Structure 1
């Protein structure tokens, strides 16, 4: 959850559909759910950037089926989502937050919980993500890395989904408002909970019918710092891999010339 990927636990099923947008405390929310649900949590951003390469490729396939929006694409999309989340107790962050209607169909007993924050500060926070993800050299740097070589194309597919749902190419506070209204339209009122991680254990435990953990502080993970660390990590890994590749090519050329 912003720090390291979760590993699926056989037999575990989705109990919570995290419907909050990125940068609404989803990493802290995921860590709290891991304690309350006693199972691994699929945090979309973490799994896409640090998880097995198959996970980002599965999301891309599901997003392509979603974008096609035909009757023949629906069943393959649902199968991909179910396979992706098999072994997890909850899903949080994007793109799960944009697949809420489909996930409700797959997991009819799951609670839908949307993490919230001040829309103005959310807009500022999203600008940080845009800074990292739209670096002009990013695709080239990540090319030697399995999984992450697909990251820029994955972001493009996410963008298509967001534009269709929220009618904005660049996320603003209006995107935030539209997401909240969309959830109210697609999720039954008795199944939808809005939750601010600043409120700690009590409201979350009440929504899930769980006891408040004793002598355990609520986890607070700085999403911004986690994203900065992940971005720096992959850029360093990509540059290192390129240095090895180019160094090997140079040595080979020298050997041929010699």
Structure 2
């Protein structure tokens, strides 16, 4: 482990994932945490983890970003004390709007609505998402019938507390406070690597990560495939009927 990105979701984690990947790092993001280490994170979120557990989980990984890893940056750093830490920052109001939009996009994704009710991996993913969201940033994720909601006060409080804690507790010689708008120069200087001759990536614009994951990520493709196996061409109609049952307009 070389880099721990301790920034909240929606502070530019997908852009940072792409940037670190461009620089040659093997990166685990939210979907990889679930796909490869679901059982370990289930234990960590329920009963707590250990230094040895994190060492086993990420021994072949260069960098971690997003939930739930960002909330456990300190424990991961205990396992990998030479790793550098990046705290991603963003205007709080802009961040909350972006998070709210992402939640809306997830609520409106028909495949997820169906999968969380009827498919094994969809139900498993939903439970993981619920635990991660409650532990990390005060989001109440969907049950079988109800969509995700935000408690704005608790979410803002979690955001402020987390950023302050990282800024105070992380070793100053290993910490970079970074905004995506800062671009390659400060990041590459911090990581002691050459600056790529390409623009700094800007990913997940207005929730596009969900669409991109559905097209590219094996987990999301598996969820979609399970839905298609169960319902075939009737999947869209099933979603409409579910909306009618629990009162969505």
TM-score (norm: length of structure 1): 0.70
User: Could you list the runs of 5+ residues in structure 2 that have no partner in the other structure?
Assistant: 139-149, 235-249
Do structure 1's residue 41 and structure 2's residue 41 form an aligned pair? no
Aligned match for 2:230, one of 232, 239, 242: 242
Tell me the secondary structure at the aligned position of residue 99 of structure 1.
helix
Structure 2 residue 124 is matched with structure 1 residue 142: no
- 1:61–1:139 Cα change, 3 Å: farther
Distance 2:3 2:114 in 1: 37
Deviation at 1:239, TM superposition (A): 3.2
1:207 to 173, 190, 193: 190
Query: Distance in 2 between the 1:229 and 1:30 partners?
Result: 14
1:80 and 2:53 equivalent? yes
CA RMSD after TM alignment: 3.0
Q: Match of 1:152? A: 126
Partner Cα separation in structure 1 for residue 95 and residue 211 of structure 2:
16
CA contact (8 A) 1:21 1:97 kept: yes
The alignment partner of 2:94 has SS state of: helix
Distance 1:185 1:241, change over 3 A: farther
Which of the numbers 198, 216, 238 marks the counterpart of 2:181? 198
Give the match for residue 12 of structure 2.
25
1:121 alignment partner, one of 94, 115, 118: 94
Specify the structure having the higher radius of gyration (Cα). 1
Compared with structure 1, are the counterparts of its residues 230 and 33 closer, same or farther at alpha carbon in structure 2 (3 Å cutoff)? closer
Change (3 A) 1:155 1:222: closer
Deviation sequence 1:192-250 (CA, Å, 0-9, x none):
2111111211010111122212x333222225201244469667445313216x9xxxx
Deviation sequence 1:2-43 (CA, Å, 0-9, x none): xxxxxxxxxxxx10000011111111111211232x231111
The answer on whether the counterparts of 1:63 and 1:157 sit within 8 Å (CA) in structure 2 is: yes
Q: Which residue, out of 40, 52, 63, partners 1:58?
A: 40
User: Which whole-Å CA distance do the structure 2 matches of 1:29 and 1:127 have between them?
Assistant: 20
With the length of structure 2 as denominator, give the TM-score of the two structures.
0.73
8 Å CA contact 1:144, 1:241 repeated in 2: no
Answer with 226-235 or 79-88: which moved more.
226-235
Tell me the distance in 1 between the aligned counterparts of 2:4 and 2:164. Answer: 17
Give 1:159 deviation, angstroms. Answer: 3.5
1:95-149 per-position Cα deviation (integer Å, ceiling 9, x unaligned): 1100011011001001110112221111011112333556799575235555433
Of 170, 176, 187 in structure 1, the residue corresponding to residue 151 of structure 2 is: 170
Cα deviation, residue 65, structure 1: 2.1
Rounded Cα–Cα distance in structure 2 between residues aligned with 1:178 and 1:129:
22
How many residues of Structure 1 are paired with residues of Structure 2 in the alignment? 213
